[in-house]
Amino acid sequence: MSLSVGDRAPEFSLPDQDKQVVSLAELRGTPALVVFYPFAFSGICTGELCQLRDELATYTDAGVRVVAISTDPVFSLKAFKDQQGLPFPLLSDFWPHGATAQAYGVFNDKAGMALRGTFLVDAEGVVRFAEVNQPGDARQQTGWKDAVAALS
């Protein structure tokens, strides 16, 4: 069961592409867009994260920090970030495998990957937007933008 609007966002501490730990607790005080995606380098995921990169000002101008999470190891995330020029942290939910995705209700047990879950967490840690798309179902980012605008 995925999180819903009004739920408290589960805490996480995950290594980024540079093996630096990023936690939801350290993001507290500012809203965060938490974007789960299945795999680095896959077609739909690359398109979604590149769109997020290209439209990042929509979020940062509103004071929203962006983090993207997959079950890929940090080495894959580093290569993916460098190749695509992604300016936000890519967090590895590799071990324990998918534990954070499970906590957010977006882990696909059979495939061992995160679903396309998107959560806007406010400065106090409460989910203000939640959307889950299945593998192969690309996200429309207009909903995220509307939720960010509603925070202001």
Whether 50 sits among the annotated catalytic residues: the reply is no
Task: Give the HSE-up count for residue 25: Cα atoms under 13 Å, Cβ half-sphere.
Answer: 5
CA-atom Rg of the chain in angstroms:
14
Is residue 149 left, alpha or beta, with left meaning phi > 0 and alpha meaning psi from -120 to 50?
A: alpha
22 DSSP assignment: E
Catalytic residue among 45, 49, 115, 147: 45
Which amino acids are annotated catalytic?
Answer: 45
